[in-house]
């Protein structure tokens, strides 16, 4: 008798007329788990999308990025997010399909909806995971997340309740290269009216305004740590970031000391970033900080301590006084950019 195919669900998020890119990150996690689960039993990755009417090509990108099937729950009433409605739909779908694993990004959307669904399904939920794996002997999902203020990493297993549910940190993994030739089933589902009988009414959506680009979206990040010495010296971090057109980050120590605001914090208790270039100035490299930036493409560290942990993950390390090194670096970058600008004007 053929065993049941184990479904790994990933919760996709709509954004405007398309798909929020964080959906592709969660799909990459699902594909990785499928490869390991396939060694024990046949598995498939199912992207679950609840949204108003979207272009077919936009929905199919979920297949291009790794989904074997897309469950697309389509209704114009889903344009405005109400957690009770969404949870009701997902609970029914999960009860019908019985997924083995259910993952979502630890965004505002995922953090809001997943606890509701886990309670309704009487399942466990591990929040804000940084590592996911499959235990070879049992096939159980190993869910690793920071604990005790980020001082340790705890690995959690859900032995009986199903589905095994987890949210994962945005930008903690790289998306897979899209494959437009991939074949996958897109199943459209029209939800029943009973799912929209809520005592909560959507009033309006208000976005926050911030002139600075969020560091989680920056392709280059310059971060300062305790080695900066004092709040006034953060100006040097900002100056280097400006020269590079980079975002400004910081270690938890710098934020706790009040040198810079929390939205700039990189690490387990802050933001996870995956830029092309990450410069760490005066950052020792605690486990808490490394977990938030070690997936950067290129890491450059400047620190006076040759034994600093940051050098173990750095592609390039400079042992020296950052107040001697960084001004020289800023001047050389500016000089190079001026030369490039002049070449463009004379070309």
pLDDT given for residue 206 in this prediction: 64
Distance between CA 299 and CA 277 in Å, rounded? 6
Instruction: Check whether residue 56 and residue 151 sit in a common domain.
Output: yes
Judge if 145 and 14 occupy the same domain. Answer: yes
Mean pLDDT of 189-193: 88
**Same domain, yes or no, for 192 and 332?**
no
My answer on whether 161 and 220 are in the same domain is no
pTM above 0.95, yes or no: no
237 in a structural domain: yes
- For the ranges 116-120, 240-244, 276-280, 291-295, the lowest mean pLDDT is seen at 291-295
pLDDT at residue 197, rounded to an integer: 83
Q: Tell me if 208 is assigned to some domain.
A: no
Is the pLDDT score of 345 beyond 70? Answer: no
Average pLDDT estimate for 183-211? 78
Are 249 and 315 contained in the same domain? yes
Mean pLDDT along residues 107-115: 89
Give the end of a domain, one of 196, 224, 253.
Answer: 196
246: β partners = none
Say yes or no: 146 and 225 in one domain: no
Evaluate whether residue 207 is within a structural domain: no
Q: How far apart are CA 269 and CA 10, in angstroms?
A: 24
Q: Are 258 and 316 in contact (CB under 8 A)?
A: no
**197 phi-psi bin (left φ>0, alpha ψ -120 to 50, beta other):** beta
Q: From start to end of 52-181, where are the E strands?
A: 69-74, 101-105, 125-129, 131-134, 141-147, 152-156, 164-168
Is residue 206 in a domain?
no
Question: Quick one: 19 and 153 in the same domain?
Answer: yes
Residue 209 lies in a domain: no
169 and 255 co-located in one domain: no
Q: 248-300 pLDDT, tens per residue?
A: 999 999 999 999 998 899 987 788 888 889 999 999 999 889 988 887 889 99
Nearest Cα neighbor of 236 from 314, 334, 329 is: 329
The reply to whether 229 and 85 lie within a common domain is: no
- Within-domain flag for 202: no
Per-residue pLDDT, 213? 64
Structure tokens at 289: 């900080």
**Residue 32 in this model has a pLDDT that exceeds 60:** yes
Check pLDDT > 50 for residue 165: yes
Residue at 201 is within a domain: no
Q: Average pLDDT in the 201-215 region? A: 67
Last residue of a domain, one of 167, 196, 225: 196
Question: Does position 2 have pLDDT exceeding 50, yes or no?
Answer: no
Q: What is the mean pLDDT of residues 303-307?
A: 94
Confirm whether 41 is domain-assigned: yes
pLDDT single digits (tens) 132-163: 999 888 889 999 887 755 567 888 888 888 99
Annotate 229-254 with DSSP letters as a single string: -SGGGHHHHHHHHHHHT-EEEE-HHH
H/E run at residue 52: none
Residue 222, domain CATH:
3.40.50.1220
Q: At 73, is the secondary structure helix, strand, or coil?
A: strand
- How many domains is the chain built from? 2
Q: Are residues 252 and 120 in the same domain?
A: no
Using alpha carbons only, give the angle 72, 74, 80 rounded to the nearest 5 degrees.
115
Domain boundary among 143, 162, 196: 196
Same domain, 251 and 191: no
**What would the mean pLDDT of 321-334 be, rounded to a whole number?**
93
CATH assignment at residue 28: 3.40.50.620
Q: Which domain holds residue 97?
A: 6-196
Residues 187 and 224 in one domain: no
């Amino acid at each position: 008798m053929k065993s049941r195919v184990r479904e790994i669900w990933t919760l996709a998020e709509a954004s405007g007329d398309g798909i929020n890119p964080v959906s592709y990150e969660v799909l990459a996690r699902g594909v990785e788990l499928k490869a390991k689960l396939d060694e024990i039993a046949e598995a498939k990755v199912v992207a679950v999308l609840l949204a108003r009417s979207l272009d077919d090509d936009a929905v199919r990108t979920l297949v291009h990025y790794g989904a074997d099937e897309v469950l697309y729950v389509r209704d114009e009433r889903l344009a405005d997010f109400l957690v009770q409605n969404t949870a009701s739909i997902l609970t029914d779908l999960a009860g019908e399909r019985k997924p083995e694993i259910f993952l979502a990004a630890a965004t505002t959307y995922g953090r809001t909806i997943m606890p509701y669904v886990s309670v309704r399904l009487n399942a466990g939920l591990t929040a804000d995971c940084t590592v996911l794996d499959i235990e070879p002997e049992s096939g159980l999902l190993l869910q690793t997340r920071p604990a005790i203020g980020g001082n340790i990493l705890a690995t959690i297993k859900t032995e009986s309740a199903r589905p095994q549910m987890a949210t994962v940190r945005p930008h903690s993994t790289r998306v897979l290269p899209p494959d437009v030739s991939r074949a996958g089933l897109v199943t459209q589902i029209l939800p029943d009216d009973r799912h929209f009988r809520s005592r909560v009414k959507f009033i309006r959506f208000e976005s926050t305004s911030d002139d600075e680009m969020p560091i989680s979206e920056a392709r280059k990040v310059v971060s300062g740590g305790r080695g900066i010495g004092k709040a006034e010296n953060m100006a040097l971090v900002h100056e280097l970031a400006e020269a590079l057109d980079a975002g400004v980050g910081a270690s938890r120590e710098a934020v706790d000391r009040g040198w810079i605001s929390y939205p700039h914090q990189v690490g387990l208790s802050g933001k996870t970033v995956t830029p092309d270039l990450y410069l760490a100035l005066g950052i020792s490299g605690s486990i808490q900080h490394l977990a938030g930036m070690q997936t950067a493409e290129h890491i450059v560290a400047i620190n006076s301590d040759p034994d600093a942990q940051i050098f173990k993950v750095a592609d390039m390390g400079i042992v020296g006084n950052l107040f001697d090194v960084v001004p020289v670096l800023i001047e050389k970058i500016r000089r190079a950019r001026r030369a490039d600008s002049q070449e463009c004007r004379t070309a």
